[in-house]
Structure 1
Amino acid sequence: MLRGEITTAIRRALMQELAAVGYGRLSIEAVARRAGVSKTAIYRRWNSKLDLVLEVVAAAAGRRLPALDTGTLRGDLSLLFQVLAHALRHPLASQIIPDLLAEAARNPTIDETLQRVLRARQQEVAGELIGRAVRRGELPADTDPDVAVDLIVGPLYWRIAIARTPVTDSYLEALVESVASGLGAQDSVPRQRSAPDPG
């Protein structure tokens, strides 16, 4: 394999192994075996299991969301929920995320990395989705971005990752309305009145 192919294979193997056994039982030997490379190939790129996990997981979690500007808050929420539901339902994510959150409670380095990645994602959602809705007049100007993001992301994460309850289209539609209402969204973007007809 070429150098880039080896790195890609290691990252893929790490995610698969992490989902299979969790961080506590994860070993460089098992990742190397799954990737079809030597342990040396891994240690040339990462100094330790922790370094490998943090870099690969942070890169995966930090991927930018696709453009979510549909023109309305409800449209943006609907698209965001579809994207998040798809990501959270992925077998790797559904097994890795709860395990790493539990590990973060015991490992300050993992906790710091996850918090940094989550804060960046929160700023992305708050700065773009919420900011656009405020500028369009759909949300109050004093909308708290932190509270808004918790309200947007929290219910879906709880349902999929914690309660492990199926997410249907009707549930997502109801969630859009509930979140929009909870944020104090207007039913529609206010329009400027047209000038009176002189005739």
Structure 2
Amino acid sequence: MAKNGSETDHTAARRSPAGAAVLREDKTTAIRAAVFEELAAVGFARMSIEGIARRAGVGKTAVYRRWRSKLQLVLDVVSAVATAGLPTPDTGSLRGDVRMLLEVAARALRHPMASQIIPDLLAEAARSPELAEALKTALHDSQEGVAAAVVAKAVERGELPQDADARPALDLMAGPLYWRLLVVRDELPAGYLDALAGSVVAALGAE
């Protein structure tokens, strides 16, 4: 016997919770956390969906329902973290804003997991144009807006000239930290962030 419209709608409504349960948020959160742990433990090249699933305590199908491949999974997770990265400070001065950004960035780069994952992904990006483009968006473009906002506020306060270029701001802040913490892997000496903040402000042409 053919089902009428109301019976069909009722059946669909009955089935929808089961479909929604496939993408349970607690499993998604566990998978995202497992990605970072697996990246830190074995690196991108050796990382596998099986290893991520095992670490997250889920089946492989739970991972594949959310992401098509290892690359898509890593790109999504890294992008999500970067987007929620640096805050936009408003301390009342350019130097104060830059100093706060440097403190937050240094704390993030000091994290053992970040110090292992970021260099590994950047090395892998040299072999993967897709990963390289995604990392550029995640690690640079998404944070450049924060630097631009800091420069714009400084212009409003009269600390920077109207034609101040916001583009070098992120490079001036991130470059020295990345070099010292992830390349040289040396501790920041006392007063380093204060001195770097002063150098960044001077380089931006603060009045």
TM-score tier by shorter-chain length is 0.7 to 0.9
Q: 2:143 is aligned with what amino acid?
A: R
For structure 1, the residue ranges without an aligned partner over 5 or more in a row are 187-199
Deviations 1:123-158 (A, max 9, x none): 2322x1011111111112222211222112211122
Write out aligned runs for 1:75-90 (5 A).
75-90=96-111
Say yes or no: does 1:10 pair with 2:31.
yes
Displacement, 1:64?
Answer: 4.4
Indicate the larger mover: 64-73 or 25-34.
Answer: 64-73
- Name 1:138's counterpart in structure 2: 159
Which runs of at least 4 in structure 1 moved beyond 4 Å after TM superposition?
Answer: none
Partner of 1:182: 203
Matched residues, number: 185
Corresponding residue of 2:147? 125
TM-score by length of 1: 0.87
Aligned CA RMSD, in angstroms, stands at 1.6
Q: Kindly indicate whether residue 135 of structure 2 is the aligned counterpart of residue 114 of structure 1.
A: yes
Look up the equivalent residue of 2:141 and give its one-letter code: R
Residue 173 of structure 1, aligned match among 173, 194, 199 = 194
Bigger-Rg structure (1/2):
2
Tell me, yes or no, if structure 1 residue 73 matches structure 2 residue 94. yes
Is 1:20 equivalent to 2:20 in the alignment?
Answer: no
Letter paired with 1:39: K
> Which residue type is aligned with residue 30 of structure 1?
G
Displacement of 1:120 in angstroms is: 2.4
Distance, in Å, in 1 between the alignment partners of 2:90 and 2:190 is 20
Worse-superposed segment, 43-52 or 142-151: 142-151
Question: Structure 2 CA distance, aligned partners of 1:120 and 1:60?
Answer: 10
